[in-house]
Structure 1
Amino acid sequence: MKKINIGFISPYDAMVPVIEELKKGQNDLLITAVTGNLEKGVALAKELELQGMDVLISRGGTAKLIRDAVMLPVIDVHMSGYDLLRSIMLASGHLGEKKALVGFSNITIGAASIVSLLEIDLKVVTLAEASDVEPILSTLKAEGYTRILGDVVTVNAAQQLGMNGLLIQSGRESILQSLEEARRLHKTQQKNQQLLRIFEHLLAEQEQDFFVATKTGKVLYENWSSIKRLPLTSTEINALIQQVNDSDLPVLKIFTEVERPFSIRATSWQDRSSTLFSFFFKRLSASTHELNGGLAEKIHQLPPLAAESTAMKNIRHLLEEPFLATAPIVLEGAPGSGKETLARYVHAYHQKQGYFAVLPIEELKKSFSELHALKVTTLLVTISNAPLSDFAREIKEQLAVLAAQNTQVILAAEEMPQNLIDSLGMQEAVRITLPSLTDRQGDLELLVHQFLTEFHQTLGTRPIKVRDDAMEELKKNHWNGDVNELKAYIKKLALAEKEYVIEKGTVLKNPSAAQTQQKSKELFFEGATTLKEIERKIIEQVLHEEGFNQTKAAKRLGINRATLWRKLKE
Structure 2
Amino acid sequence: MKLLAIAPYEGLRQLFLRVAEEEGLSIKAEVGNLDEGVRLAKKAADESFDVIISRGGTATLIQQHLSIPVVEIEISGYDLLKNLLFLKEYPDKKAIVGFPQITNGVQLINELLDVSFSTVTIHSEGEAIHALKELKAQGFESVLGDVITVNEAERLGMNGFLLSSGEESVRKAFNQAKRVVKALGRDRLNYELPLSYLHEQERGLVLLDQNNDVCFVNEFAKKFQLMEFINDHSFMRQLRTPRETGAFSWSDGHSVWYIRYKAIGNQGLAIEFAQLNERVLNDHPKPIIIGSDDPIIKQQMKKYLSSTSAAIQHTLKAAEAFSAYEEPIWIDGKPGTGAEALAYHITFQLYPSVEHMVIIECSRMNERPYQEGVQELLSFFGAEQLAVLVKGLSGVTDEALKACSSLFQQVREGQPVLLLGKRKHRVAKQLGLKQLGGELQMPALQERVDDIDLLSRLALHEMNMHYGKQIVGFREAALHALRNHHWTEHIDELWQVIQDAVKTADSSYIDETLLAPFLHSKEPIAPFHLTGTMKEIEEKIIYHVWLEEGKKHSKTAERLGMNRTTLWRKLKNAQEGATD
* TM-score bracket, shorter-length normalisation: 0.5 to 0.7
Secondary structure class of the residue paired with 1:14: helix
Check the 8 A contact 1:328/1:426 in 2, yes or no.
Answer: no
Distance across 1 between alignment mates of 2:176 and 2:315 = 53
**Alignment partner for residue 388 of structure 2, among 370, 373, 379?**
379
Distance across 2 between alignment mates of 1:459 and 1:175 = 15
**Alignment partner for residue 446 of structure 2, among 416, 423, 438?**
438
Distance across 2 between alignment mates of 1:454 and 1:281 = 40
Shift of 1:452: 1.9
Question: 1:345 is matched by which residue type in structure 2?
Answer: H
Equivalent residue, structure 2, for 1:412: 420
How does 1:338-349 map onto structure 2 within 5 Å?
338-349=338-349
Q: Deviations over 1:139-192 (max 9, x none)?
A: 6667776654332344445566676543222112211232344456666x2433
Secondary structure class of the residue paired with 2:330: strand
Shift of 1:485: 2.6
Secondary structure class of the residue paired with 2:53: strand
**Which structure shows the higher helix fraction?**
2
Distance across 1 between alignment mates of 2:148 and 2:189 = 30
Question: 1:129 is matched by which residue type in structure 2?
Answer: S
**Alignment partner for residue 188 of structure 2, among 186, 194, 201?**
194
Shift of 1:340: 0.3
Check the 8 A contact 2:306/2:455 in 1, yes or no.
Answer: yes
Equivalent residue, structure 1, for 2:5: 8
Indicate whether 1:280 and 2:273 are aligned.
no
Indicate whether 1:59 and 2:18 are aligned.
no
Check the 8 A contact 2:142/2:161 in 1, yes or no.
Answer: yes
**Alignment partner for residue 77 of structure 1, among 73, 76, 86?**
73
Check the 8 A contact 2:363/2:400 in 1, yes or no.
Answer: no
Check the 8 A contact 1:83/1:170 in 2, yes or no.
Answer: yes
Distance across 2 between alignment mates of 1:368 and 1:192 = 52
Indicate whether 1:33 and 2:12 are aligned.
no
Check the 8 A contact 1:72/1:192 in 2, yes or no.
Answer: no
Equivalent residue, structure 2, for 1:477: 485
Check the 8 A contact 2:485/2:519 in 1, yes or no.
Answer: no
- In the alignment of these two chains, the number of paired residues is 463
Equivalent residue, structure 1, for 2:499: 491
Equivalent residue, structure 1, for 2:363: 362
Equivalent residue, structure 1, for 2:235: none
Distance across 2 between alignment mates of 1:331 and 1:401 = 22
How does 1:122-521 map onto structure 2 within 5 Å?
123-137=118-132, 148-157=143-152, 165-182=160-177, 189-194=183-188, 197=191, 205-210=205-210, 251=245, 265-267=262-264, 278-280=267-269, 293-300=286-293, 302=298, 303-304=301-302, 305-321=305-321, 323-324=323-324, 328-350=328-350, 352-354=352-354, 355-364=356-365, 366=371, 367=374, 370-371=377-378, 373-388=382-397, 392=401, 395-396=404-405, 398-399=407-408, 401-402=410-411, 404-413=412-421, 415-418=422-425, 420-421=427-428, 424=431, 425=433, 427-511=435-519, 513-515=521-523
Report percent identity of matched pairs.
25
Distance across 2 between alignment mates of 1:211 and 1:400 = 36
Question: 2:419 is matched by which residue type in structure 1?
Answer: L
Question: TM-score, normalised to structure 2's length?
Answer: 0.65
Distance across 1 between alignment mates of 2:110 and 2:193 = 47
Shift of 1:296: 1.7
Check the 8 A contact 2:55/2:74 in 1, yes or no.
Answer: yes
Secondary structure class of the residue paired with 1:316: helix
Equivalent residue, structure 2, for 1:555: none
Equivalent residue, structure 1, for 2:278: none
Q: 1:192 to 1:479 in 2, by over 3 A?
A: same
User: Considering only aligned residues, what root-mean-square deviation do their CA atoms show, in Å?
Assistant: 4.7
Secondary structure class of the residue paired with 1:206: strand
Secondary structure class of the residue paired with 1:469: helix
Equivalent residue, structure 1, for 2:99: 104
Distance across 2 between alignment mates of 1:325 and 1:139 = 34
Question: 1:294 is matched by which residue type in structure 2?
Answer: P
Unpaired runs of 5+ residues, structure 1, are: 213-221, 227-243, 254-262, 269-276, 283-290, 519-540, 547-570
Question: 2:394 is matched by which residue type in structure 1?
Answer: N
Question: 2:350 is matched by which residue type in structure 1?
Answer: H
Q: 1:173 to 1:378 in 2, by over 3 A?
A: same
Check the 8 A contact 1:360/1:383 in 2, yes or no.
Answer: yes
Secondary structure class of the residue paired with 2:522: helix
Q: 1:411 to 1:497 in 2, by over 3 A?
A: same
Check the 8 A contact 2:312/2:443 in 1, yes or no.
Answer: yes
Secondary structure class of the residue paired with 1:334: coil
Check the 8 A contact 2:488/2:524 in 1, yes or no.
Answer: no
Question: 2:362 is matched by which residue type in structure 1?
Answer: I
Shift of 1:482: 3.3
Secondary structure class of the residue paired with 2:443: coil
Question: 1:356 is matched by which residue type in structure 2?
Answer: M
Check the 8 A contact 1:92/1:121 in 2, yes or no.
Answer: no
Question: 1:280 is matched by which residue type in structure 2?
Answer: L
Check the 8 A contact 2:365/2:401 in 1, yes or no.
Answer: no
Check the 8 A contact 1:39/1:224 in 2, yes or no.
Answer: no
Distance across 2 between alignment mates of 1:335 and 1:43 = 37
Moved more, 101-110 or 82-91: 82-91
Distance across 2 between alignment mates of 1:113 and 1:325 = 54
Unpaired runs of 5+ residues, structure 2, are: 200-204, 218-226, 228-241, 248-259, 272-283, 527-549, 556-580
Distance across 1 between alignment mates of 2:45 and 2:472 = 36
Secondary structure class of the residue paired with 2:74: coil
Q: Deviations over 1:19-55 (max 9, x none)?
A: 222235425x444434444566567667878766555
